[in-house]
């Protein structure tokens, strides 16, 4: 399968997507503001018709660096609930979160409600890894927390929220089971992600993968490579003994070619979705789709 790179065209600083309901924010409907689009999708499933969910980060964006408008900042301050990822993910947004909390807005940082792992890479070792969503079990913990906080908003029908949460938990459990089964088909000694993606620590921990961090030679190296340029990556691939690596590269075909011709390593290159949902039809328009696409790419890549 040809990995798709979703062109992350950034077209504007303002990114409001109203997921539930279609009226302008305000009125009597409880207002929930969510920072990342992954959590926006999850919270929207739980809130259903009981609240209006505004997601600040639009599709194909970078959770670390997106910015919000003054209107969105003020919407946060008057929100009935703010849901953020936490653990340092929303760097550029933290000041607005702090301000909204100081203004009295109830806030839920998902990272505070899960068992946190630390990064293992050298440079960032010891700091908490915010990318918990790569493990659906941890997302279930987040659903529990979100359910209880939404149910506590005055005017919300707690039973309806409970039913939504039950239904979504069942979907997550089904996803989790699918992942267990898909990964079980991968020979155990091949359960290694040779990757320059930095978000798969939780998935690896949950499903028994090794993450082999690798520097992927860039375009200037691929333009005039030597065997020495490929030594680290080639030895990582050989040591992991995998038929596919999971890399973000602007020239994946050239990388495959160069690895074969310069290092004698035959390997496929596949890309995974990492930190943002996509537009509909691009492979990761919901959390469940994103996880299923990644699961399929990993299972196909390592089983072949």
Partner 1 sequence: MKLSKSLVALPLAVACIGLAGCSAGAGPADDDGAPAGDGHGEIEGAAEVAEPPLGLISVDAAGAVGLLDLLNEEQSELGTVGAPLGLATDGRYAFVSTDDGVEVVDSGRWTWDHVDHFHYYRADARIAGTVEGEGPAEISTGMLSTAGSTGVFFAGSGEAVLLDNAALADGEVAERFRIDVGAEDGLVAPLGEGALVSDGDSLVFHDAEGEATGTTVPCSDAAGSITTRVALAVGCADGAILATATDGDVELEHVPFPDGAGSDNGSDAGAVTAFAARKGRPTVAGLTEQRGFWLLDTREREWTRVDTDQALERVVAVDDEDGHVVALDADGRVRVFTAETGDEIAATEPLLDEVTDSVSLTVDDQRAYLNDPSAGVVHEIDYAGDARVARTLETSPAPDFVAEVGR
- Which residues are at the interface with partner 1 (CB under 8 A)? 5, 7-13, 60-62, 64-70, 73, 88, 91-92, 94-96, 119, 121-127, 198, 215-221, 223-224, 226, 228-229, 248-251
For residue 37, count other CB atoms closer than 10 A to its CB.
Answer: 29
Is the Cβ of residue 10 or residue 185 nearer to partner 1 in the bound state? Answer: 10
Q: How far apart are CA 137 and CA 141, in angstroms?
A: 7
Least CB distance to partner 1 at residue 21 (A): 25
| Burial grade of 205 (CB within 10 A; 0-12, 13-18, 19 or more) | middle
Least CB distance to partner 1 at residue 60 (A): 8
Least CB distance to partner 1 at residue 253 (A): 13
Nearest to 233 by CA among 250, 255, 253, 208: 255
Structure tokens given for 30: 């409880």
Least CB distance to partner 1 at residue 142 (A): 22
Is the Cβ of residue 236 or residue 288 nearer to partner 1 in the bound state? Answer: 236
Q: How far apart are CA 170 and CA 149, in angstroms?
A: 19
Is the Cβ of residue 61 or residue 245 nearer to partner 1 in the bound state? Answer: 61
| Burial grade of 185 (CB within 10 A; 0-12, 13-18, 19 or more) | exposed
Is the Cβ of residue 21 or residue 201 nearer to partner 1 in the bound state? Answer: 201
Complete edge-to-edge strand list for the sheet that includes strand 107-109:
17-18, 52-55, 31-34, 81-84, 107-109
Least CB distance to partner 1 at residue 300 (A): 21
Least CB distance to partner 1 at residue 105 (A): 16
Is the Cβ of residue 124 or residue 184 nearer to partner 1 in the bound state? Answer: 124
Q: Are the CB atoms for 197 and 131 separated by under 8 Å?
A: no
Is the Cβ of residue 30 or residue 131 nearer to partner 1 in the bound state? Answer: 131
Least CB distance to partner 1 at residue 24 (A): 20
Nearest to 263 by CA among 302, 218, 222, 291: 222
Q: How far apart are CA 79 and CA 183, in angstroms?
A: 41
Greatest alpha-carbon pair distance for the chain in Å reads: 66
Q: Are the CB atoms for 105 and 76 separated by under 8 Å?
A: yes
Q: Are the CB atoms for 56 and 35 separated by under 8 Å?
A: yes
Is the Cβ of residue 127 or residue 177 nearer to partner 1 in the bound state? Answer: 127
């Amino acid at each position: 399968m040809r990995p798709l790179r979703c062109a992350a065209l950034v077209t504007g600083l303002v990114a409001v997507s109203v997921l539930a309901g279609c009226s302008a924010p305000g009125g009597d409907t409880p207002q929930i503001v969510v920072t990342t689009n992954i959590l926006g999708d999850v919270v929207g499933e739980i809130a259903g018709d009981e609240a209006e969910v505004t997601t600040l980060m639009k599709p194909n964006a970078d959770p670390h660096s997106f910015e919000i408008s003054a209107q969105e900042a003020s919407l946060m301050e008057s929100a009935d609930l703010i849901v953020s990822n936490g653990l340092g993910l929303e760097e550029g947004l933290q000041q607005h979160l702090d301000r909204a909390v100081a203004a009295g807005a109830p806030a839920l940082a998902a990272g505070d409600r899960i068992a946190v792992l630390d990064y293992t890479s050298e440079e960032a070792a010891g700091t908490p890894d915010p990318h918990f969503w790569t493990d659906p079990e941890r997302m279930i913990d987040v659903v529990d927390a979100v359910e209880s906080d939404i149910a506590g908003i005055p005017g919300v029908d707690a039973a309806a929220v409970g039913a939504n949460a039950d239904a979504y938990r069942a979907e997550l459990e089904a996803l989790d089971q699918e992942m267990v089964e898909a990964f079980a088909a991968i020979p155990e000694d091949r359960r290694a992600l040779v990757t320059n993606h930095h978000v798969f620590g939780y998935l690896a921990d949950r499903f028994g993968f090794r993450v082999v961090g690798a520097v992927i030679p860039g375009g200037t190296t691929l333009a005039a490579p030597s065997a020495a340029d490929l030594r680290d990556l080639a030895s990582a691939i050989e040591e992991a003994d995998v038929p596919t690596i999971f890399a973000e590269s602007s020239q994946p075909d050239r990388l495959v070619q160069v690895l074969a011709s310069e290092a004698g390593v035959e390997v496929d290159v596949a890309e995974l979705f990492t930190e943002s949902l996509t537009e509909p039809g691009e492979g990761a328009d919901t959390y469940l789709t994103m996880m299923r696409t990644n699961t399929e790419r990993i299972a196909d890549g390592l089983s072949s």
